[in-house]
Amino acid sequence: MLQRYNRTLFFYGLSMLVPWMLWFSVAYLSHLPDQTRGIQIAQRILGPAGLLAPVLLAAYLFLADEELLKDLKSRIFNTKDFRLIYMPATFFLIPVSLVLAQLLSIFLGHGLDQFRISGSPSFTSTFLSPWFILIFAPIAEELAWHSYGTDTLRRKFNLFNTCLIFSVYWVLWHIPLSFIKGYYHSNVVAEGWLYSANFAFSLFVFVILMNWLYYRTGRNIFVAVVFHLSANVTNEIFATHPDSKVIQTALLLLAAIAVVVIDRKLFFLKTSVD
């Protein structure tokens, strides 16, 4: 089946080009001194359009191939290969790692106020509610990345190299967002190089863990959505200091190393091991 996922350049090329064009336009508009209603409406249209571009491209590819569409339907909620043993990691790995990171950060002089439920995200958005973005983005992204994107790379590469390639791509894909005024990624850049580097490296660690869960649950797209969603919500629900996010990345790196070492056949054999 993986051999039918053969439009790699088409999918990844347009999934980069279209969002970049739309999001750089949003970035330009976000810095205009006079934020008229028309400009705000334009941002509300262009921003989500960029986010939806990859999943719309994936939808086009699935609708053009009946066998691919059948494969997709079997994976959205895959009950046949659904393994409950992986559900705790899917739901709780990210929240637990953040709580541990915040506890460890106390030894660096940070306070318990990090555990305060902030009630509002750390960023603003002129085109949509920040909470809506945090919840909607994982759904839209994973319906693209884990419907077509991951498997088209697995057609040619083992899982570890797939994770490396996609992580680099994903970092580049996010670049325009760092130019949008008040947006999460622009705030990370403003905090300094350490936190920017941490964000980029954390994506690699995150992809390793997410793809491990994805393949160990029979390429279950729902699992990828939930894991991504847990990361988005968890990292915004607390008043977390950026140092704690660096510590969290270190903790997740240890988990990723353990997963790769223990499940090395899954990561280093070219043929998919489910």
Q: Indicate the residue type of 92.
A: F
- Tally of structural domains, the chain: 1
pLDDT of the residue at 239: 83
| Per-residue pLDDT at 67 | 94
Apex 13 CA angle, 225 and 189, nearest 5: 65
Residues 186 and 178: their CA atoms lie apart, in Å, by: 4
Cα Rg of the chain (Å, integer): 19
Count of residues for the chain? Answer: 274
| Domain assignment of residue 157, yes or no | yes
Strand partners, 117: 238
Q: Specify if 37 maps to a domain.
A: yes
Supply the pLDDT for residue 125.
64
Helices (H), the chain: 8-30, 37-63, 66-76, 87-105, 130-144, 150-154, 159-174, 184-191, 193-216, 221-237, 242-262, 264-268
- Which of 6, 13, 9, 14 shows the shortest CA–CA distance to 53? 14
Whole-angstrom distance, CA of residue 274 vs CA of residue 134: 30
Q: CA 72: distance to chain centroid?
A: 20
Task: Quote the CA–CA distance of 182 and 124 in Å, as a whole number.
Answer: 5
pLDDT value at residue 112:
87
Residue 84 lies in a domain: yes
In a domain, 38, yes or no: yes
Whole-angstrom distance, CA of residue 22 vs CA of residue 122: 23
Q: Is 236 within a domain?
A: yes
Cα 89–150–183 angle (5° rounding)? 75
* Parent domain of 91: 2-268
Answer yes or no: is 273 within a domain. Answer: no
**Residue at 53 is within a domain:** yes
Cβ-proximal residues to 265 (8 Å cutoff; 6+ apart), any chain: 273
Both tokens assigned to 78: 């895959």
Spans of the chain below 50 pLDDT: 273-274
Residue 274 placed within a domain? no
pLDDT of the residue at 77: 65
User: Which amino acid, residue 145?
Assistant: W
